[in-house]
Amino acid sequence: MIIAVDFDGTIVEHEYPAIGKPIPFAIETLLHLQKDGHRLILWTVRRGDLLKEAVDYCAAQGLYFYAENENYRGETIEKQDFSRKLKADLFIDDRNLGGLPDWGVIYNVVQAMDNGHDNPLSLMINHSAMPQRKKKGWFRR
């Protein structure tokens, strides 16, 4: 599976343009996903020196990406001053609806997708942790 991963707010805390503190288990989980055979693409708003800083930060942790802000290394596009979508099977980003799940949950969802689970996103919802309310009738709380 090809997985596009954001940097700020996803791998490290959001301190852009500085590099924030590491988010617990992000690097470790991404390394496990690579070990499982997934291709990781760093997908970030960072460009130039700021992108190099992010790539170097990850490399210092032993994490090397298949590509950064492109579908494959050396991809040429006509106009590079705008963000565009990548061809990925999954995007991991703190700006997801509902925010960034715990990295353990992310890993389990990816594993479930690999194993053909019908609805892997249902694994993200812990129904027992959700508050239960008595229903009082139409539109009443």
The answer, as to whether pTM is greater than 0.75, is yes
Phi, psi of 5 (to 5 degrees): -125, 130
Q: What is the pLDDT of residues 16-50, one digit of tens each?
A: 999 999 999 999 999 999 999 999 999 999 999 99
Closest alpha carbon to 9 in 56, 45, 63? 45
Q: Which domains does the chain have, with CATH numbers?
A: 2-94 (3.40.50.1000)
* Position 13 pLDDT exceeds 80: yes
DSSP secondary structure letters along 72-93: STT---S--SS------SEEE-
